[in-house]
Amino acid sequence: MFKNFPLIVKNCWRNRRRTTLTILSIGASLCLLGILMAVYQAFYLSDGAPEQALRLVTRNKVGLAATMPQAYEPKIKALPGVHEVMVANWYGGTYIDDKPEHQFARFATEADKLFTIRPEMKLSDEEKAAFLHDRRGCIIGKELADKLKLKDGDRMTLIGDIYPGNLDFTVRGVYDAPIDNGVFYFDKAYIEEGLPDRRKGNVGIFYVLANTADDVPRIEKAVDAMFANSPQETKTETESAFALSFAAFLGNVKGFLMVVSAAVTFTILLVSANTIAMSVRERIREIGVLKVLGFTNAMVLGIILGEAILISAAGGVIGVFLADLLAAGLRHGPDYMEQLHTLHITTPVAFLCVAVAAFIGLVSAYIPAFQASRIPILSALRNTD
């Protein structure tokens, strides 16, 4: 096959239109396959960001809409291996209007613990101090600040829905972080000022920071065991697993990814098989001439297979390039889906996509190539198709 590589390349372009359309078809299919593989890797095979390795999230076992007593906080903090615990409540509300560009994550939290739980947040000491000393202050991620065109000192208002009333804020800092870079944080004490006593002390989630990664599995089990028979039982999981749980609202995402990947692979197989079969039928007499010139059955087989593999691999390379561009767009998706927000076409995924394309070219071409290589010389030369 390698000895006849120049002939293989020349044969690939004998019908430029068909070859170009085939490469583009395979490239489009491999683009989708590459994205699906990248999503699967990010969701189910990735360890997540290093900062997430020590963090767990505890919520009500019933669901995110149910709350827990804040009295759970010191009990969780007392568990061995726990470094810090922080309350975080989803605020909801409306900023300006309900347009998609004004939708973002809004959390009321314990301001004095936020930078311990999330040390990856880059903020100047002056901005931290301003945030901690202003109950109506807030900090926002750089990505969110750029989208909303906000900066330090700007004022903004959130219209309440889950919580009554409107809240006025002053932006006290714009942080930068490798994850959760589009979240709005403010002090939960600001909300509770106007709440009736019956609504105070309710918590949506607890963020738990472990001392070491080895403590994480033990803490996860210990927290849920502690409140197993309480009126508000808990579910504790790693921060990565918690973010992934949002995808479960869509159904069996893992099964969906696998089924669609299989369908895409089968489609590529059909496209490649059809192209190679047409090419072989047009070249029966040429194959006879090659055999007259001394080309063996194995050499003819290698030439045809080489063409199929080269065309499919070229489509795979284009598909990986397109998938990388698509992944860049998907990285600007919902901030709460962190695995999607950091989506990349990694080197293993890229190599696997090209390998799958080459393998499909080999499989789809083998039967017509094998049959063509075994045609007797006289039958090949008499062919009129």
pLDDT of residue 372: 82
Evaluate if residue 335 carries a pLDDT over 60.
no
Evaluate if residue 40 carries a pLDDT over 80.
no
SS (H, E, C) the chain: CCCCHHHHHHHHCCCHHHHHHHHHHHHHHHHHHHHHHHHHHHHHHCCCCHHHHHEEEEEECCCCCCCEECCHHHHHHCCCCEEEEEEEEECCCEECECCHHHCCEEEEECHHHHHHHCCCCECCHHHHHHHHCCCCEEEEEHHHHHHHCCCCCCEEEEECCCCCCEEEEEEEEEEECCCCCCEEEEEHHHHHCCCCHHHCCEECEEEEEECCCCHHHHHHHHHHHHCCCCCCCEEEEEHHHHHHHHHHHHCCHHHHHHHHHHHHHHHHHHHHHHHHHHHHHHCHHHHHHHHHCCCCHHHHHHHHHHHHHHHHHHHHHHHHHHHHHHHHHHCCCCCCCHHHHCCCCCHHHHHHHHHHHHHHHHHHHHHHHHHHHCCCHHHHHHCCC
Domain positions in the chain are: 5-47+251-382, 67-231
Render pLDDT for 17-34 as a digit per residue (tens, 0 to 9): 888 888 888 888 888 888
Range of lowest pLDDT (57-71, 163-177, 338-352): 338-352
Evaluate if residue 90 carries a pLDDT over 60.
yes
Render pLDDT for 225-239 as a digit per residue (tens, 0 to 9): 999 989 999 999 988
